[in-house]
Amino acid sequence: MEQKEELGLTVKKSEDFNEWYNQVVLKADMIDYSLVSGCIVFKPNSYAIWEKIQKAFDDKIKKSGHKNCYFPMFIPESLLKKEAEHIEGFSPEVAWVTKAGDTELSERLAIRPTSETIMYESYAKWIRSWRDLPLLLNQWNSVVRWEFKHAKPFLRTREFLWQEGHTVHATREDAEKEVMQQLFEYVDLIENYMAIPVIAGKKTEKEKFAGADYTTTVEAFMPDGKALQMGTSHLLGQNFAKVFNIKFLDKDEKEKYAWQTSWGLSTRTIGAIVMVHGDDKGLIIPPRLAPVQIVVVPILFKENKEVIIEKAKEIAKKLKSKNYNVEFDDRDGYTPGWKFNEWELKGVPLRIEIGPKDVEAEQLVLVRRDTNEKIVIKAKDLEKKTEQMLNDIQDSLLKKAKEYLTKSIVEVHNFNDFIDAIKNKKMPKALFCGSAECETSIKDKAEGATCRCVPFEQKPAKGHCVQCNAEAKYWAVFGRGY
Ligand code: 87F
């Protein structure tokens, strides 16, 4: 009992969400804080999730012809500032190397906050003809943005891990196709692996990346009423090509500026998984991303100890051979109940128990992490039933999150209802004129709410802007953001 109180969560998700989140990421042993404020250690329990995300996404982009590469993390100041417009607003967050030992560098070096400039400098040298296109490169790396807002594990840290894709095409149409293809790879990754439903759409002029013609996004909704951008994909148009001189000789013998895209998804998505699925007992990791998918716990008494351990080991071995990530927990000195609590805290989706009675009856007990439901199965049905149950868990996590997202988007027709929706931790969906001024005044009046996106799925936008009454351009979703 005493052990449990120390190790388990001491607050409920519904009572103090912030404290709950901080406790989960620490007590599930996902992270540690570090000596540099705003930086965290990714411990094996979280890094293994990132590795599974990487594997899933890497397989996808390789299938569509993308290749990985690695560019230096140091960007000369002159290069970073070459495209002045895109860096504007971001400048205060750039970290610089100015010295080597005691020697001042002749030019300071930025630690990459994103790799557009350093990559496109090379692209200009590499691309000569239409035969060199498309160029489809991706990097898995970390970036540094020296934020001064309060840090939050995974969601806002000064260094984070991500992938950044940077592609070059001969035509605007090809680049636009790429933007959408990658955005919908994110949708698939986030919905079908992370089990988090998203709204896909376009950012407004105010919220788009300054270096882009337009920005697309996938937005998720957290249980504390805040929206979280899960991934983004930009049509860069010819903006960078003109600054970095990325030109190619086309089939018609004419020299043209190339068309570009960039897209990124980061370790902040791990924070979303924690927030969306976790409960009062701790983490719940969707089976497809769980570092440990199944834990086998033998229930031991003095008698028959060896037989039970043998049987449990056999089960673990069988499941491992089917490529599941399995933990066999035969640790001495811990009660089964204590072990259950620990694996629940760490979010293992499925637990298999086997005790003396089960051995005798040739049966096993399966316990689902998400619903706590217990079923007794015949030992011979092990593989079929585990597969079924893991699939069920994956599906019902998404289903539950979908229900929450659906009821959190509320259509509003006047500004009072808009404000109420924000107050009630919902995302108002409203007719909007799309102007930056209007968005600013919404932000001022509605607790800092911004336009999360203009969903691709639109119904006719007949009527007036919820804020200024001018003719509306589209339906847009608003919300407070992380
Ligand atoms: C911070 C400091 C300097 C974001 C920054 O979204 C520059 C930047 O350019 C900056 N923070 N950005 C925009 C990043 C755009 C784009 N890059 C590739 C992405 C996805 C991946």
Task: Determine if ligand 1 sits within 6 Å of the CB of residue 263.
Answer: yes
From the CA of 114, how far away is ligand 1's center (Å)?
A: 5
Query: By alpha-carbon position, which residue is closest to atom 13 of ligand 1?
Result: 209
Question: What is the percentage of the chain residues whose pLDDT exceeds 70?
Answer: 99
CATH 3.10.580.10 fits 409-481, yes or no: no
Counting atoms of ligand 1 from 1, which one is nearest the CA of 262? 18
Question: What is the percentage of the chain residues whose pLDDT exceeds 90?
Answer: 95
Residues 199-220 have pLDDT tens digits of 999 999 999 999 999 999 999 9
Counting atoms of ligand 1 from 1, which one is nearest the CA of 87? 7
| CATH placement of domain 12-277 | 3.30.930.10
Predicted TM-score (pTM) of the model is 0.97
Query: By alpha-carbon position, which residue is closest to atom 17 of ligand 1?
Result: 114
DSSP 8-state code for residue 288: G
Mutate to test the pocket of ligand 1, among 82, 85, 88, 90 (most ligand atoms within 8 A of CB): 90
What pLDDT, on a 0 to 100 scale, did the predictor assign at position 2? 43
CA–CA dist 463, 470 (Å, integer): 9
Cβ atoms of 226 and 194 within 8 Å: the answer is no
Counting atoms of ligand 1 from 1, which one is nearest the CA of 166? 18
Task: Determine if ligand 1 sits within 6 Å of the CB of residue 87.
Answer: yes
Distances from the Cα of 127 to the Cα of 75, 114, 246, 250, 324, angstroms:
21, 21, 7, 11, 44
The answer, yes or no, to whether residue 103 has pLDDT greater than 60, is yes
Identify which of 350, 323, 355, 198 has the alpha carbon closest to the alpha carbon of residue 265: 198
Mutate to test the pocket of ligand 1, among 81, 86, 114, 137 (most ligand atoms within 8 A of CB): 114
Indicate the burial class of 297 (C-beta count within 10 angstroms; 0-12, 13-18, 19 or more): buried
Expressed in percent and rounded to 5, the helix, strand and coil fractions of the chain are: 40, 30, 35
Which comes out higher in pLDDT, residue 387 or 83?
A: 387
pLDDT, mean over the chain:
96
What pLDDT, on a 0 to 100 scale, did the predictor assign at position 6? 63
What pLDDT, on a 0 to 100 scale, did the predictor assign at position 271? 98
From the CA of 264, how far away is ligand 1's center (Å)?
A: 9
Task: Determine if ligand 1 sits within 6 Å of the CB of residue 113.
Answer: yes
Candidates 3.90.550.10, 3.40.50.800, 3.40.50.10420, 3.20.20.220; correct CATH number of 292-392? 3.40.50.800
Question: Helix, strand or coil for residue 143?
Answer: strand
The answer, yes or no, to whether residue 83 has pLDDT greater than 80, is no
From the CA of 320, how far away is ligand 1's center (Å)?
A: 41
Distances from the Cα of 190 to the Cα of 7, 204, 425, angstroms:
30, 22, 22
DSSP 8-state code for residue 412: -
Length of the chain: 482
Per-residue b or e along 148-177, where b marks 16 or more CB atoms closer than 10 Å to that residue's CB = eeeebbbbbbbbbbbbbbbbbbbeeebbbe
Cβ atoms of 282 and 347 within 8 Å: the answer is yes
**What does the pLDDT average to over 331-356?**
97
Residue spans of the domains in the chain: they are 12-277, 292-392, 409-481
Query: By alpha-carbon position, which residue is closest to atom 12 of ligand 1?
Result: 114
Counting atoms of ligand 1 from 1, which one is nearest the CA of 215? 6
